[in-house]
Chain A
């Protein structure tokens, strides 16, 4: 267990938070964006081994990508990159992709203003 991109970004261009601690998974995603390219990404996760692994994997998949490309990352992609997940853990990979998408949408909303 050696997750990458753990931490927070001060003054991020986008921030996403999904899940809640009551159901056992909470993820926060921070992104830095230049010319619509994700240049830095960090996460924090409260959750099981799968939740941590999928958070880490989604940051690896998203870094360096255009935001439109990054929005296309699905939970299936995350699970595939990890060589599969047990069925009851698939929702963890969903959460990781959701957190990324939430951060990108936050960035887009800020840009509109």
Chain B
């Protein structure tokens, strides 16, 4: 059976061009970048070269603003905890939008346990940060405000430049998690007014096991992983040279191909949204226009998302859901609750994220499978009238 992969927000296949470029750092050029002999210096060069590519990708002031980490989760932790602990004199308050990724929310909750004040900024029904609330909440003690560039579950893109202006009028640092947006939306940290930015390698078709954190010149953070002092003391631990080199290559390719890729994916996305929302009692979640070009997310009344996922898998189609049943905690997605859905509505969510392997020819099969799945599960459901 031909499979159709529609869960690029969860995992992306490694780009073969990236693998060809970076594979030598797994075996032939296996040296430790901290070693002074040639083998080590080859590896160091690869890391430095990647740093330049990442800086170029987000139009950073220089490559010195980039620190490599092991994942987006680690970058979020370093940004939030690192900035909060380093800048105690600026205040002990942190703010995050109500729809941040759990790797932003949980470090902030941890700070809260240790004496910081932590609040979440509400969002509207499309998932856009409520600007008036932000204006009221931010104050001179707000050391870190975290707002994601775009949301992974509902696709909504935030007005980052506008948010940046408000944050910098009264508060201190703006941290932006760009894991879902990078490679899909052009990011310019200088124009957007971003102090700290999180990037993930795999979300650019790079190898898993690398992330990056941008921090603006003048912004001070402290290390959260003490050790051998790699990455200018900000992130100890021997560099994952293969993943880091691959991430740089992936970012270069993303920069070059983004525009054409987006035009192509937007057409597929819009057709999917058009056809799937024709199903009875099906609704788009997230913003109808300001959304990621590869992102189509829905909810269906009277049925449950994990069942949708399993049923779609029988057609060879992989999708995601924010249903409580598919989470470890059995809690529904905090993102769907924040945009005002009732618990039973949040249970019926389905998320499709497109990528390079998808094309227009797949749409009839996808739409037919969704229709049949919904029909079948509604027949099973006691909530169907």
Contacts and interface: CB of A to CB of B under 8 A. Distances in A.
Interface residues of B, number: 24
Chain A facing B: main interface SS: mixed
B202 to A, nearest CB: 25
A50 to B, nearest CB: 8
| Residue from the set A44, A45, A48 with the largest chain B CB neighbour count within 10 Å | A48
Interface string B312-349: 00100000000111101010100000000011100100
Contact of B383 (A1, A26, A49): A26
Given A21-B347, A22-B343, A48 B382 contact: no
A52 B382 CA distance: 12
B310 interface: yes
Contact of B326 (A3, A21, A48, A52): A48
B326 A44 contact: no
Contacts of B282: none
Contacts of A88: 328, 330
B343 A48 contact: no
B198 interface: no
A25 B303 CA distance: 10
Contacts of A45: 380-382
Interface of A: 1, 3, 6, 17, 21-28, 44-52, 88
A6 B381 CA distance: 9
Contacts of B332: 24
Contact of A48 (B306, B342, B344, B379): B306
A84 B310 CA distance: 18
A23 B343 contact: yes
Nearest to B330: A88
A6 B306 contact: no
Contacts of A1: 307, 310-311, 314
B302 A51 contact: no
A24 B330 contact: yes
Given A47-B307, A88-B330, A52 B380 contact: yes
A48 B323 contact: yes
29 contacts: A17-B382, A21-B344, A23-B343, A24-B304, A24-B323, A24-B343, A24-B347, A25-B325, A26-B382, A26-B383, A28-B382, A44-B382, A45-B381, A45-B382, A46-B302, A46-B380, A46-B383, A47-B304, A48-B306, A48-B323, A48-B325, A48-B326, A49-B307, A49-B310, A49-B325, A50-B325, A51-B325, A52-B307, A88-B328
